[in-house]
Structure 1
Amino acid sequence: MDAMRIDGSERDLASFAAGVLRSAAPIEAPTPFERRVRWDLRGNTGLISAFTLRSGISVAAVRCRWEQAAAMVIDHAPMVLEFVLSRGPVMRVRSSDGDDHLLGGGTFHVGQVKRPMRLVCEWDESARGQDQDNICLTIDGRRLRELLGAKVLPAPIERVVAHTGAYPRAAQAMSPPLYRLLDEIIGCDARGLSRQLYLEAKGLELMAAMVDLLEEGERAASPLLSQHDIARLERARHILLARMVDPPTLPELARHAGLNEVKLKEGFRVLFGAPVFTYLRHHRLDEAQRLLRQRACNVTEVSQRVGYENPSKFAAAFRKRFGVSPSTVG
């Protein structure tokens, strides 16, 4: 496979389309500050949205789904600091200097490419049918100090900057605020000027949350959650959302995820910031709000599509979450 080239702090979408997708996928421009490219190759689908904020932060938000094993080759140029969130199936990343690490499974890392290198990203059959969400924020270290109002960067970030290796990183598990912000950025459906304002605010909030997490010096999930636990909790979340209309029971969900019920309930609350069925309810209502804004269905149809048999109960839950009646949305 040909390589995708990345120069500086932003993804080169045209290069991605030509080199990795091997197609002249059109570059969309939904706003003056944002560019997108979509693909659908033999069932492997995805969307990359890249935008630069006035704060000096560049953001690339990616959602993809793999229906078969796949690989991507990236020629990576030296760059400023990058902060990466990655949720979903695990992706193995091998670099030309012999480094080997994993992304996905609810991980967060800050790193810096110090010299040109080639990265090979691989997904195996275990990723089939699952969404992988990634957000990459890049920013110059001096600009980050200005935003923080500090003379020096936080110690974990400063160690990355000072390290002489080709691609130093500091990595840990994502926290509940990072999961929330990942959803809010990737799922943003604001348009026009409000979209830019919304993403400006969320980009800064995400940067602040990542800096706070690094400064705390603790694993985001919990010392009680291993990477093995996190991967299985991610599997549980995927199963739960895939069966949104007809959700499994807790014992069934625990069995499919390879966890006991206690670990499922405790781990889900720690990792995703809410109990299992509270998380599902919030997801249902968020999806309903999205559908109503798109005017894709009427209120009754939307309630059924997100798993509510009783439209009155749906309307009451919607008002409780959003403070307005579903009939007023869109």
Structure 2
Amino acid sequence: MEAMSIDGSERDLEGFAVGVLQSAAPIEAPTPFERRVRWDLRGNTGFIIASTLRSGISLAAARCRWERASGMAVDHAPMMLEFVLSRGPLMRVRSSDGDGYSLGGGTFQIGQVKKPLRLVCEWDESAIGQDQDNLCLAIDGRRLCELLGAKVLPAPLERIVAHTGGYPRAAQSMSPPLYRLLDEILCCDGRGASRQLYLEAKGLELMAAMVDLLEEGERAASPLLSQQDIARLERARKILLGRMVDPPTLPELARHAGLNEVKLKEGFRAVFGAPVFAYLRNHRLDEAHRLLRQRACNVTEVAQRVGYENPSKFAAAFRKRFGVSPSTVG
């Protein structure tokens, strides 16, 4: 599997052409601010456009279709906040920090690469012959504050920026306006100065729509969370992870945290992005992946250390999260 590097520069297109397409595909320049590469190689077709907007937004949009199961490795440099829309068949992504997730299926994801990561992206046979559309806006957090006329970022974005891990992310389903804007940017046929102006306007409109969707989702999920509630939810999270092998029941966890069960369940999902025990399961599997990479224990021992009594259930959960068997890690 060939690797390419992403550092947010125009070199990314050359890297994709050489590293993934294995061909020196010509780089087009529709405007002074935009670069584009197209390919039609052995039935694999697609294009990528990358544009630097005057607003401080970096915009990249792609449409790909593969005629065989494919994959690529990406060496991702630390970057700004990334807002990603993805539609079409699922692409499985595994990162060198042990995380695993999917792109595609009409999802909207926000993240920030905090340290160098290698991402392994794979399409299986179910993706053959289907278009996958991806659009990424990247922007510095301080510049986004300036555009919003605010001193601080909206709470969902502030949590991502404040996170100390390698690739914090949040995800939800795309809204109808996001589908429309994705199509309008991918299908833009303007030229010259009008094209640059169009992409500038659509990039800002898309950024506004994504921030609105984030804030609406947060308000709907947690309309009555006070700072004291958030502190109690953090206490619940620490208790839960501290008892990873023998977790408390929901009533017990709510009692220790000083919350009722309804606020615990709704607040936990709003603040930490997952239901209580889904969050615990992901943490267990992430810890298992770390232990396996360190080769500290065999698979059965790792399963027991993260709270799985049944190695078969552990292996099934591990494969579902990371796309590989635990015995292949390390």
Aligned to 2:119: 119
Amino acid at match of 2:116: P
Check the 8 A contact 1:43/1:67 in 2, yes or no. Answer: yes
Query: How much does 1:163 deviate?
Result: 0.6
Counterpart Cα distance in 1 of 2:183 and 2:11: 20
Query: How much does 1:218 deviate?
Result: 6.0
Aligned to 2:166: 166
Q: Are the structure 2 counterparts of residues 61 and 174 from structure 1 closer, same or farther at C-alpha, using a change threshold of 3 Å?
A: same
Aligned to 1:100: 100
Counterpart Cα distance in 1 of 2:9 and 2:85: 16
Tell whether 2:177 aligns with 1:204: no
Equivalent residues in 2 for 1:156-305 (5 A)?
156-217=156-217
Aligned to 1:151: 151
Aligned to 2:15: 15
Amino acid at match of 1:208: A
Q: Are the structure 2 counterparts of residues 11 and 100 from structure 1 closer, same or farther at C-alpha, using a change threshold of 3 Å?
A: farther
Amino acid at match of 1:66: W
Q: Give unmatched runs, 5+ long, in structure 1.
A: 221-330
Check the 8 A contact 2:34/2:52 in 1, yes or no. Answer: yes
Amino acid at match of 2:215: E
Aligned to 2:26: 26
Amino acid at match of 1:145: C
Amino acid at match of 2:195: R
Amino acid at match of 1:108: F
Amino acid at match of 1:54: R
Which secondary structure state, in structure 1, belongs to the residue aligned with residue 5 of structure 2?
strand
Check the 8 A contact 1:178/1:210 in 2, yes or no. Answer: yes
Q: Are the structure 2 counterparts of residues 10 and 103 from structure 1 closer, same or farther at C-alpha, using a change threshold of 3 Å?
A: farther
Query: How much does 1:122 deviate?
Result: 0.5
CA deviations over 1:225-282 (Å, ceiling 9, x no partner): xxxxxxxxxxxxxxxxxxxxxxxxxxxxxxxxxxxxxxxxxxxxxxxxxxxxxxxxxx
Amino acid at match of 1:202: K
Q: Are the structure 2 counterparts of residues 219 and 45 from structure 1 closer, same or farther at C-alpha, using a change threshold of 3 Å?
A: farther
Aligned to 2:58: 58
Bigger Rg, which one: 2
The TM-score, its normalising length taken from structure 1, stands at 0.65
Q: Give unmatched runs, 5+ long, in structure 2.
A: 221-330
Which stretch of structure 1 is more off in the superposition, 176-185 or 12-21? 12-21
Tell whether 2:40 aligns with 1:40: yes
Q: Are the structure 2 counterparts of residues 90 and 112 from structure 1 closer, same or farther at C-alpha, using a change threshold of 3 Å?
A: same
Check the 8 A contact 2:91/2:102 in 1, yes or no. Answer: yes
Aligned to 2:76: 76
Check the 8 A contact 2:160/2:169 in 1, yes or no. Answer: yes
Check the 8 A contact 1:86/1:103 in 2, yes or no. Answer: yes
Query: How much does 1:208 deviate?
Result: 0.2
Query: How much does 1:209 deviate?
Result: 0.2
Which secondary structure state, in structure 2, belongs to the residue aligned with residue 31 of structure 1?
coil
Counterpart Cα distance in 2 of 1:219 and 1:101: 25
Q: Are the structure 2 counterparts of residues 170 and 114 from structure 1 closer, same or farther at C-alpha, using a change threshold of 3 Å?
A: same
Query: How much does 1:197 deviate?
Result: 0.7
Query: How much does 1:42 deviate?
Result: 2.0
Amino acid at match of 2:21: L
Counterpart Cα distance in 2 of 1:183 and 1:10: 23
Aligned to 1:5: 5
Which secondary structure state, in structure 2, belongs to the residue aligned with residue 25 of structure 1?
coil
Counterpart Cα distance in 1 of 2:59 and 2:135: 7
Query: How much does 1:154 deviate?
Result: 0.3
Check the 8 A contact 2:156/2:218 in 1, yes or no. Answer: no
Across the two proteins, how many residue pairs are aligned to each other? Answer: 220
Q: Are the structure 2 counterparts of residues 219 and 16 from structure 1 closer, same or farther at C-alpha, using a change threshold of 3 Å?
A: farther
Question: What is the RMSD computed on CA atoms of the aligned residues?
Answer: 1.5
Counterpart Cα distance in 2 of 1:154 and 1:9: 27
Query: How much does 1:41 deviate?
Result: 2.6
* Identity level (%): 83
Moved over 4 A (4+): none
Query: How much does 1:40 deviate?
Result: 2.0
Aligned to 1:129: 129
